[in-house]
Structure 1
Amino acid sequence: MSEAKHSRSERTVDLNADLGESFGVYKLGADHELLSVVTSANIACGFHAGDPTTVRTAVEAALAAGVAVGAHPGLPDRLGFGRRMMELTEDEAYDLVLYQVSVLYAVTRAYGGELRHVKPHGALYNMAAKQASLAAAIARAVAKVDTALVLVGLAGSEILAAAERHGLASRSEVFADRRYHCDGSLVSRNDPRALIEDAEECVAQAIRMTQGSLVRALDGIDVPVRAETICIHGDGQQAVNFAHRVRTALTAAGIVVTA
């Protein structure tokens, strides 16, 4: 999520996807296809998904595609894909984020690139969105690796506040393919209503969040959001279709899609 110069009249937004989430012979997601559409890639660091070869190939592919590389640290829970809540001390959270971000930072540099951002994954992301102490531990770990890294978090969350307190730039994230509660949190994946599966609804939500800074919650209330980067989940069945449709619609609306 690097900085780019545009005229003040232009509205810009980043389009990101979570990639590098395969493991060994088990393949997940359409990384190659998504890298032709998105502007930022959040690459799994080996805890919730990924392995050394997957990390390297994902970094190489993103750099070759001119896509900004970010670290996607998660909880140490492969079986649950990092989406199950886990109790962590602040030191444990700091250490697991420091370790994972350092891996992506080093691999990206080894291949001539620069790590741009950090976006926590799954349960770690959602827990830190509400828990100030956990968000602070994450921000502290990211700043320890490099204060130039951008910390990505849910719009209006504790992650963004922690980034500011620790001298980090941040980006407010919204989700085109997820539904929201009236407090701005994401609907749990345990709820069958959590995922948006209709392309038109996905596109409409992305445009409204970007242009109108609002998202319609499940109870019908409009929730204010700040859309600086839009996520399309790379493991979704329609991820590539959604990403193409959202990017086309953003461009048609006069919005510049850029890392």
Structure 2
Amino acid sequence: MSEKRIIVTGASSGIGEAVARQAVARGWQVLAVARRAERLEALAAEIGCETFAADLTQEDAVAALAEAAATFRPTGLVQVAGGAKGAAPLGETTIEDWRWMFESNVIATKRVIDALLPLLRRSTAAPQQDGSASYAEIMVVTSIAATVSYQGGSGYNAAKSAEKQLIDVLRLELFGEPIRVMEVAPGMVWTEEFSLVRFGGDQAKADAVYKDVQDPLSADDVARVMTDILALPGHVSVDETIIKPVAQTHPWMVHKGPLVAKG
């Protein structure tokens, strides 16, 4: 089998970091990408991945990433970078927060795919060592917010919905090519930064999201599912995967307190 070489964005924390760790543990080559160079350096020292510091909302940074990626020779892209800002009613949200969410979740995803798709296509040109066909892969993390609206989520709902549509159209447009396009849509995941960023650094508000919720998902939980999917044979495309904790039925329906069987 050919060597799996994946680029993981958003790799300085949360799901992206967890994917990078688990991918290296599986013996894959990883190019970890994020804005914060010092965090990437610490990750590389610990797990032995390659790194590239880039703000994916900046065109010149993505162009530089493409140059570095040409040397890395990727067979896959795992696009995790993104996030939410604000949880106010629509009329109280700010254009600045909406712009940040669209730049981070939609425009950045387009930029990265535009930059790396030619390299992923190139990786499929030669057959694998056993003579079987080579496949490339694009996996993008969206959210259950892409398809289920909730109060206080207008900007994030809109941005993640747009990102999902981008992925769905890409899958159609790559018809006939040996590239699987896969979406992972997590629900409630506890990470050190997601809710903290959403609430502008207010730790109390961030902590309240998960308070009394029995076993919210961890970044490792989501990364385990993602790397299990990536480990499947290249011709197996798991187009859409929704991952939620048992305590969550919808974005707005989260059980607080112990989970207890009835009857």
| TM-score, normalised relative to structure 1 | 0.40
Larger Rg: 2
Hey, which of these two has a bigger chunk of helix by percent? 2
| TM-score, normalised relative to structure 2 | 0.40
Greater length-normalized contact order (CA 8 Å, ≥ 6 residues apart):
1
